[in-house]
Structure 1
Amino acid sequence: VAALAGQVSLPIMEVLLWAAAGAIAGDSVSFALGRVFQGRLERLWPLNRFPGFIAKGEVFFHLHGGKSVIIGRFVGPIRPIIPLIAGAFLMPWRRFLVFNFSSAVAWAPTYVLPGYLVGSALTSDFEPPAHFYPVIGISAGILLVIYLLLIRFQLGLGHSSQLYHWLASLMARYHATHRFWRLYTSQRPAQAGEFPLPSLSMALGAGALFMMLGQLATETQIFQPFNTLTLEWLAQLRNPLMDPVMILVTLLGDPPILLAAAVLAAMALGVRGFYAATLHILGAALLATLLVWAFKYLTAIPRPDIVQGPPSSGAFPSGHTTGITVFASLAASFIARESRHRWRWRYYLLFSIPIVLVALSRLYLGVHWFTDVVGGLLLGLSIAGLTRASYSRYDNIPLTTDTTLLAAGVAWMLYIIWYITEHWATAALLYGPGAD
């Protein structure tokens, strides 16, 4: 249906709006039915034809709590059952609606945009560039494998999952693969030599999505109507009250501030003898800088010109979004690593806030297209996942906080204050709305 909508050129925002509305309505009805038939769900048709299905949903709900409503939106086999279980367990309506609305906003573009773009491409005079289909095919293959393993078959990546044990036994059959597996396993006793499968999967999955998006965004005009519509919509929201806030947020994502954080963190860890962590932090910063520069130079996508002084560099990908994603993702992973397992998701959620804010500021100020920001996010996640996977072979001693790290944090905050004070007037002038 999404492909047909793209073929007949239905407005993309209307398609996404109605898709999200349908998702919200469906789960709301399911939640209400769970409230009405609590205690009798397993006896109702057609659920009584699938014994154990309700029990499986209850286990999932107990394990993840309110987050299961969001997770269930994207996980095929349990998608229809989670709202029922939430209603039967008397989750408050207000809390359910928050999870329902927020997950639907993410679900609609994830499930609708691919088909819509394919439909749009079929009706256009599209001439693929060199190596277009091999890149798309390999990237799609990687994503399909990750989808089947994680979503469709619900196989976890932790050291206690079936998939992990199967891969470990497969690697152990050959000397070279066994050596590689052992080389990158954590040597902490509590982890029992865990291989960084989640980080590696994130690096491969995000990298594959970035390659696909890069091909489509730089070599075709498929995304141009959506980019233009997003830019025009955000331009209408600009006002004197929000402009200073967004300028401040975007300055916090400037490369000098993020590179200063990397250098100070590396120095603090290096002084304490964590040389591997030092090299990996500096390596991630250097890799992000070089890749962003290379992609901007090679693609040479022009930026929007709705501000007084748009940057002169290419638009794709967003360097600010890439940098803040690498910074926040690595910071979250290092902190979460030293915390209790059940608390880790909170750190990842907390550190996702600066990523969203910086990305939104680039769109609000009109210096990037929507695809630039998404590309920067995917590139940053891929670099962060690759860095974390590489560091796992040296992750033997907990990284605790001490006065050296605190001093580096204070020095970074002082540098931020100086940098913003020094560059505020210029930024306010450059990011001001251009003349009509």
Structure 2
Amino acid sequence: MPELPARVGAIADAWVTPGTVLGLLGLFTLATVLLLCLVPLLVALLRPLVRWLDGMRVWGAGALSARVAARHRPRRLSTLTLRVLERDIAELLLVLVAGAALLACGAALFWLAAEVVEGEEVVHLDQLVFAQLRAWRRDWLDVAMVAVTELGGARISVSVGVAVFAWLWWRRAWVTALYWAAALLGARACVMALKLGMARVRPASIYSGLESYSFPSGHATASMVTYGFLAFLLCLRQPWRVRIPVLALTAVAVAAIGVSRLYLGMHWLSDVAAGYALGLAWIALLGTAYHTLHVPAPRDAVAPWRLGAVAAAAVVAAFGYVAWFRMPDTLERYREAGAAAATVGAQQALLATAGAIPAAGRSCDGRCPALQSDSPPR
């Protein structure tokens, strides 16, 4: 494999241009929109089945209601089942889909954590992706990726979180505001707990302390929860002509932030995947609870269009501040970390040739991975 970085570098020189990157981004956006457009078609095809299930639900609710009324003291389980059957079948199916997504994301998160601890195929894939993306580094692409990664950073995420919370509180949508706060703060708490428990070192880092740990990606989790739960609030009780562009923009933004973390070398591929799984699981959990218990609130409580405008204004204002005051220093720090990681990678290759086993231990003050000879990188 020694010739792999050189081969990848030659391909990058020939193909990695601004036009190519913009073309790929356009294709990804188009594919995302087309996939989302298939959802209404799928709903239309399943409509006869949904109507049949709704008829069965009405029949079951009527039969159970008669049994409950005939009893002097109805059982609690029968009462709860009746309350569930009184809801629309589409809502019940949505809850089932959300539950399946929650279980799938939770299983994926635990599987990734186990694979990282074991240090087998997933770790090798992480190293391969990191090496290939490092060969793609270009000055103009560094600037673009740092700009994208800031969209999932703390400054912009906190700005959006505070702006949305203040808007909801001002609109007296107190329950929605509390769900929004629980989504952001709960996801952050989960990230901190997992980082502390896994203590996985980043491939390269500009951070120190707890943030020097890599698993899961805080940017991936924060972007998924912040923009994903915001999209959930914006799409509630909206037609598909509104939902599709909102969901497409959210998917493109979240995916781009994850790619930027990989490109800049701040995370392994499994870190970003774990962050997405954690964020999606958190959205499924809180979204299901909110939709099941609180959606019959007044339609104008959230005011989706105005909420979207508030969030967009917060993103623009925070990004303008970051671009004007922080971008040059942040860009230089990322480049220094990338150069340090490249130097360490060359040293690891020499050690591997000499018979030593490279590993990522504690980072040197959180800025670059250390070298060990007794265990593989986690």
The letter of the residue matching 2:295 is: D
1:382 corresponds in structure 2 to: 281
Amino acid in structure 1 at the alignment position of 2:326: H
Aligned partners of 1:317 and 1:375 also within 8 Å: yes
SS of corresponding position for 1:434? helix
Q: How far 1:337 moved relative to its partner?
A: 1.9
Q: SS of the counterpart of 1:241? A: helix
1:114-263 superposed matches below 5 A: 160=51, 162=53, 175-176=76-77, 179=80, 182=83, 196-263=95-162
CA distance in 1, matches of 2:282, 2:144: 28
From the superposition, tell whether residues 290 and 364 of structure 1 become closer, same or farther in structure 2 (CA, over 3 Å): same
Q: Which residue of structure 2 aligns with residue 434 of structure 1?
A: 339
TM-score, length-normalised on structure 2? 0.65
Deviations 1:278-319 (CA, angstroms, capped at 9, x unpaired): 0000000001110000000000011103x6x35552111000
1:395 is matched with 295
Provide the residue aligned with 2:256 in structure 1: 357
How far apart, in 2, do the equivalents of 1:220 and 1:238 lie? 27
In structure 1, C-alpha distance between the alignment counterparts of 2:122 and 2:256, rounded to whole Å: 23
Counterpart contact for 1:155–1:163, Cα < 8 Å: no
Q: Deviations over 1:371-422 (max 9, x none)?
A: 0010001001001111111111111232324767745643452233223433
CA distance in structure 2 between the aligned counterparts of 1:355 and 1:68, rounded to whole angstroms: 15
Letter in 2 for 1:268: W
Aligned counterpart, 1:413: 316
CA deviations on 1:99-154 (whole Å, 9 max, x unpaired) are xxxxxxxxxxxxxxxxxxxxxxxxxxxxxxxxxxxxxxxxxxxxxxxxxxx9xxx9
Equivalent residues of 2:146, 2:260 under 8 A apart: yes
Is the 1:269–1:405 contact (alpha carbons within 8 Å) kept by the matching residues of 2? Answer: no
8 A contact 2:36–2:248 mirrored in 1: no
Give the Cα–Cα distance (whole angstroms) in 2 for the partners of residues 377 and 178 of structure 1: 37
Q: What displacement does 1:322 show?
A: 0.5
Aligned partners of 2:244 and 2:180: how far apart in 1? 22
Structure-2 separation of matches of 1:228 and 1:371: 10
Letter in 2 for 1:429: E
In structure 2, do the counterparts of structure 1 residues 66 and 181 end up closer, same or farther at CA, with 3 Å as the change threshold? farther
Task: Within 5 Å, give how 1:264-413 maps onto structure 2.
Answer: 264-305=163-204, 309=206, 312-341=211-240, 344-392=243-291, 393-396=293-296, 397-398=298-299, 399-401=302-304, 406-407=309-310, 409-413=312-316
**CA shift at 1:160, angstroms?**
4.7
C-alpha separation between the residues in 2 aligned to 1:344 and 1:380? 20
Contact between 1:185 and 1:193, CA under 8 Å: does it hold in 2?
no
Structure 1, unmatched stretches of 5+, are: 1-10, 12-64, 72-149
Letter aligned with residue 395 of structure 1: V
Distance 1:70 1:395, change over 3 A: closer
Aligned residue for 2:272, secondary structure, equals helix
Deviation, structure 1 residue 268: 0.4
The AA in structure 1 aligned to 2:334 is Y
CA distance in 1, matches of 2:273, 2:78: 34
In the TM superposition, residue 190 of structure 1 has moved relative to its aligned partner by: 12
Higher relative contact order (CA 8 A, sep 6+): 2
| TM-score between both structures, scaled by the size of structure 1 | 0.57
CA shift at 1:264, angstroms?
1.1
Cα displacement (A) at 1:369:
0.4
- Amino acid of the structure 2 residue aligned with 1:347: V
Asked if structure 2 preserves the Cα contact closer than 8 Å seen for 1:259 and 1:285, the reply is no
How far 1:238 sits from its partner (Å)? 0.4
* 1:185/1:204 CA distance change after superposition, 3 Å: farther
Alpha carbons 1:155, 1:161 under 8 Å: kept = no
CA contact (8 A) 1:199 1:386 kept: yes
Aligned equivalent of 1:16: none
Paired residue type of 1:434: A
> How much does 1:338 deviate?
3.3
| Cα displacement (A) at 1:327 | 1.6
* Cα 1:371/1:70, change in 2 over 3 Å: farther
2:155–2:318 contact (8 Å) kept in structure 1: no
- 8 Å CA contact 1:218–1:301 kept in 2: the answer is no
Cα distance in structure 1, aligned partners of 2:110 and 2:46:
25
**Distance change (3 Å), C-alpha of 1:409 and 1:241:** closer
| Count of paired positions | 286
The 1:279–1:227 alpha-carbon spacing in structure 2 relative to 1, beyond 3 Å, is: same
